[in-house]
Amino acid sequence: MSGEENGHQAGDAFAALANEHRMGIIETLWNRRSTEPNSQRTPIAFSELFEASELDDKGQFNYHLGKLVGPFLARSEDGYTLTYAGENIARAVQAGSVTDNPEVEDVSVEGRSCPFCGGDGIVMSYRDGIVFFSCTNCEGLAPESPMSPPGAIQAGTIPASALVERDPADLYDDAILWGNHVYMTLLHGFCPACAGAIDESLVLCDDHDASGGICESCGDRFASRVRYECRVCGTVEWGSLWGRLSYMEPVFGFLYNHGVNALRPSVDDLALGRDLREEVVSHDPPTVEYEFVVGTDHFRVHVDADLAVETVEEEMDSEREIDAED
């Protein structure tokens, strides 16, 4: 199928949703679920759906119903059920993902201290589906970036529904776990949006200069990024190379032995990013070396264009080595 044909079909599918009666049908099917297993797969008859609608004309109702069959509804002899896409539309509407665009500005995060300076001046903001946590007392993970507030500690895409029934302190703790969930999906080759196969590549900033803390060309402290692109839906995600390395052997083992579990990270673990050392070995092909530092221990790895990792050097504190032997 050509891109033009695919785009035309996508346009038709979304056009089918541009009607309050059709959205009402989807909402009715979503709300009629019970607590019984697989009840969401139990068809609902035409008569029940029509009775629940605000239309008096069966012919008109049938017209709207027919526009949803295929992409959003499945039809059988027993009635209608939501397709996977229909469930996602209903879920997004229920959660406010496609109806709300909340903005939150500089709300104080009580009871949490900055992992970099130890201060308690942490604030949260939320806009365009991205949550930001920043410190008002220090530069955070890096000096001011054009993509995040001054003193940024952590930031990431998260649905607006995450703000419901969570205070800022809860979200401060939970946002990094949500990001970890999405990132692990990418690392295992799945698109977090559609489960399609992922292509990944190592990308370097060609004009990197972070002598002032942030490179003006790429807006980051580090020259290396990993680009993830879905072969099916075209979703593109970007992630830090050092974040990816923390999940991979041998770096994972080094960090785990120093009390950092990348599979269940805490916000305090982000402090590792302040002591990281990056060296670009080659731009063509892209090749990088990273040195992780925890206390007096150092661990250096080499990463090639295929994102293969090889240990270059490991320097352990002598007392730690003796303790390990005991």
CATH code for position 24: 1.10.10.10
pTM: 0.72
**CA dist., res. 32 & res. 40, Å (int):** 8
Residue 182 phi/psi, 5-degree rounding, is -65, -45
**CA dist., res. 303 & res. 286, Å (int):** 9
Q: Is residue 166 part of a domain?
A: yes
Q: Indicate whether 108 and 73 sit together in one domain.
A: no
- The radius of gyration of the chain's CA atoms, rounded to the nearest angstrom, is 25
Q: Indicate whether 105 and 58 sit together in one domain.
A: no
Among 50, 76, 95, identify where a domain stops.
95
Token readout for 45 is 């008859």
Q: Indicate whether 8 and 57 sit together in one domain.
A: yes
- Tens-of-pLDDT digits for all 326 residues of the chain? 444 444 435 455 567 777 888 989 998 888 876 555 555 567 889 999 999 988 999 999 999 999 999 889 999 988 998 888 888 888 777 766 555 567 888 899 999 999 888 999 999 999 888 899 999 998 887 666 666 788 888 888 888 888 888 899 999 999 988 888 888 999 999 998 889 999 999 999 999 998 877 788 887 889 999 999 999 988 899 888 998 999 998 999 999 998 889 888 888 888 777 788 999 999 999 999 999 998 889 999 999 999 999 988 887 764 444 344 44
Q: Given this model, what pLDDT does residue 263 score?
A: 87
Q: Indicate whether 66 and 84 sit together in one domain.
A: yes
Q: Indicate whether 152 and 119 sit together in one domain.
A: yes
Q: Indicate whether 112 and 155 sit together in one domain.
A: yes
Q: Given this model, what pLDDT does residue 319 score?
A: 45
Among 128, 144, 176, identify where a domain stops.
176
Among 136, 159, 176, identify where a domain stops.
176
Q: Is residue 254 part of a domain?
A: no
Look up residue 109 and give its amino acid: V
Q: Indicate whether 81 and 25 sit together in one domain.
A: yes
Q: Indicate whether 17 and 52 sit together in one domain.
A: yes
Q: Indicate whether 122 and 160 sit together in one domain.
A: yes
Q: Indicate whether 106 and 75 sit together in one domain.
A: no
**CA dist., res. 105 & res. 133, Å (int):** 11
Q: Is residue 255 part of a domain?
A: no
Q: Is residue 221 part of a domain?
A: no
Q: Given this model, what pLDDT does residue 13 score?
A: 58
Q: Is residue 89 part of a domain?
A: yes
Q: Is residue 217 part of a domain?
A: no
Q: Given this model, what pLDDT does residue 313 score?
A: 82
Q: How many other C-beta atoms lie within 10 A of the C-beta of residue 296? A: 11
Q: Indicate whether 139 and 160 sit together in one domain.
A: yes
Q: Indicate whether 41 and 105 sit together in one domain.
A: no
Q: Is residue 308 part of a domain?
A: yes
**CA dist., res. 277 & res. 290, Å (int):** 6
- What is the number of structural domains in the chain? 3
Q: Is residue 290 part of a domain?
A: yes
Q: Given this model, what pLDDT does residue 37 score?
A: 55
**CA dist., res. 315 & res. 300, Å (int):** 9
Domain of 66, in residue numbers: 3-95
